[in-house]
Amino acid sequence: MTNSDTHIISGDFEKLYMQLREKEGRVYSDKEVVTLPDLYETHPHYSEWRMRKQSCQKLISYLHKQQTPLKILEVGCGNGWLAHQLADVPGSKVIGTDINFTELQQAAKVFKELPNLHFIYTDIESGLFEERQFDIIVFAASIQYFSSLNKIIGESMRLLKPNGEIHIIDSHFYSLTELNAAKQRSLLYYQSAGFPELADWYFHHSFDELRQFDYSTLYDPQSVFNRFLQNKNPFPWIRIQQ
């Protein structure tokens, strides 16, 4: 397996997605990708990346405490910044996957010197991976691009070793009463940005969908404790165990 391994997928979503990211100022230079999640304070997305840094640090600290070599899969790794951070966990072997070939090429180029980090152009649901080979599977700001939570978690569970774990960070989950309003906000955003088609690729998942799995909330932004501390990160950290 090499950094250039690929599985050919339609580029319709990628084309629109990259055009939107360009418009939003979220296409980063190689130099910036190397330093992520750190950005200079005057960057327009500095606050967003400060929250993602918090999520990253919590996850990395958690994985360090496992004190065992880990084979990690990041699904929807984009430009590879988090996979790069995960590769610093002692004894880890990390694979990042995405259907965004443009960002994945950048990831493979920027982080090509890391022997324990590889990138594969594939959909996790393609059947490319064998069963029971990963200790940890991470979805960071990516679970919302899968239409069926049941299907993607089920496929991920198939790839986990016994006692393996799925971690979902940097994505919203909603109560059932919040779903319609959230969908409408997303549609209005994509329409105002000039990319209404992308609303068809963005999915809103509820906590009710998680109930069928053995999940824990390792960080709850709505808890009294976090509200008291005035923590700004709005995203829960969800762990699903095999």
Residues 169-190 have pLDDT tens digits of 999 999 999 999 999 999 999 9
pLDDT < 70 positions in the chain? 1-11, 224-231
Q: Is 89 inside any structural domain?
A: yes
Q: Is 5 inside any structural domain?
A: no
Q: Is 80 inside any structural domain?
A: yes
Q: Is 7 inside any structural domain?
A: no
Read off the pLDDT of residues 11-47 as tens digits, 9 standing for 90 and up: 688 999 999 999 999 999 999 999 999 999 999 999 9
CA dist 90 → 66, 68, 74, 87 (Å)? 10, 8, 17, 8
Mind giving me the DSSP string for 163-192?
EEEEEEES---B-TTTHHHHHHHHHHHHHH
Closest listed residue to residue 170, CA positions, set 93, 101, 67, 74: 74
Q: How many domains is the chain partitioned into structurally?
A: 1
- Measure the CA–CA gap between 81 and 35, rounded to whole angstroms: 8
CATH number of the domain that residue 196 is part of: 3.40.50.150
Q: Is 3 inside any structural domain?
A: no
Q: Is 1 inside any structural domain?
A: no
Range of the domain at 172: 12-241
The reported pLDDT for the residue numbered 144 is 97
Q: Is 215 inside any structural domain?
A: yes
CA dist 7 → 2, 70, 120, 124, 160 (Å)? 13, 24, 7, 10, 21
Q: Is 2 inside any structural domain?
A: no
The reported pLDDT for the residue numbered 231 is 58
